[in-house]
């Protein structure tokens, strides 16, 4: 009973994760602090993604499976969300079930866990990263998206990379050059915008000795083959080009301004 209570308390204190949002996370508390930010273009869904037992659950997708067509097809979206993302949620809950009370630190969000990644088993890294990364990814896309970023983020992109076109080129290059499965990112690192990539389900919030990009995520692109193979087969470049037509720059701006 004590172990069950420990796990339930841990989940209740750490496990509210929305699409692109973690309650209790310093990043997302500030990024989505206002009601207007939470409802940007209706792309940020409800915040409560815990079930009645205190387990992680799949957040509501903020648009229909076919809403991003023709750029991202309906079948890919449905499988990606309902099968792949769901598997990360399921396996994350199983992994947390194995943790004893000496490993679990109360009042910690997934972001805080990522900051002490070496203390947690590989299953938390893989499945916690998969859950977090996909939740963020869904919120950073929207129907009729794309175009050029406005506001402070647009200014920072131009200032850092010289032009929006140059930024797109560098971000696309990072996406193409990520060998195998992984993610491409735009992050704020030491007050500056930086482009990079991570392997598998790692992300820039994870503290991994000698590995990976570090910083606060602003934009993310999933370059695992399951994200594009049904429509684009092995043509990752075509998928990356399509992504620019669905980017939710308003959500990215909110993250940047947090």
pLDDT at site 138: 96
pLDDT at site 49: 54
pLDDT at site 202: 95
**CATH 3.55.40.20 for the 151-257 domain, yes or no:** yes
Structural domain spans, the chain: 2-65+72-139, 151-257
pLDDT at site 84: 97
pLDDT at site 109: 74
pLDDT at site 108: 57
pLDDT at site 10: 43
pLDDT at site 55: 79
pLDDT at site 26: 34
pLDDT at site 254: 94
Backbone angles phi, psi at 167, to 5 degrees: -60, -50
Q: Please determine whether the domains at 2-65+72-139 and 151-257 fall in the same fold group of CATH.
A: no
Enumerate residue ranges in the chain where pLDDT < 70.
Answer: 1-54, 101-108, 210-211
Alpha carbon distances (Å) from 13 to 49, 207, 245, 248? 13, 21, 37, 29
**CATH 1.10.490.10 for the 2-65+72-139 domain, yes or no:** no
102-123 pLDDT, tens digit each: 665 543 578 888 888 888 899 9
């Amino acid at each position: 009973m004590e172990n069950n209570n420990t796990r339930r308390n841990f989940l209740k204190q750490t496990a509210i994760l929305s699409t692109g949002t973690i309650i209790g996370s310093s990043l997302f508390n500030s990024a989505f602090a206002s009601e207007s930010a939470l409802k940007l273009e209706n792309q940020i869904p409800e915040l409560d993604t815990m079930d009645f037992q205190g387990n992680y659950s799949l957040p509501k997708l903020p648009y229909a499976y076919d809403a991003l067509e023709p750029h991202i097809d309906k079948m890919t979206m449905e499988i990606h969300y309902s099968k792949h993302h769901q598997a990360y949620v399921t396996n994350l809950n199983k992994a947390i079930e194995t943790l004893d009370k000496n490993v679990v630190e109360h009042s910690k969000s997934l972001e805080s866990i990522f900051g002490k990644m070496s203390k947690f088993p590989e299953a938390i890294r893989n499945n916690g990263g998969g859950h977090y990364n996909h939740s963020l990814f869904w919120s950073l896309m929207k129907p009729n998206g794309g175009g050029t970023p406005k506001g402070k983020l647009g200014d920072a992109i131009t200032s850092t990379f010289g032009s929006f076109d140059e930024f797109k080129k560098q971000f696309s290059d990072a996406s193409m050059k990520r060998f195998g499965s992984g993610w491409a990112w735009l992050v704020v690192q030491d007050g500056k915008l930086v482009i990079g990539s991570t392997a598998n389900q790692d992300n820039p919030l994870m503290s991994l000795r000698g590995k990976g990009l570090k910083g606060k995520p602003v934009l993310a692109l999933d370059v695992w083959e399951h994200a594009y193979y049904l429509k684009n087969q092995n043509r990752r470049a075509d998928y990356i080009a399509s992504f620019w037509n669905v980017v939710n720059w308003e959500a990215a701006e909110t993250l940047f301004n947090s």
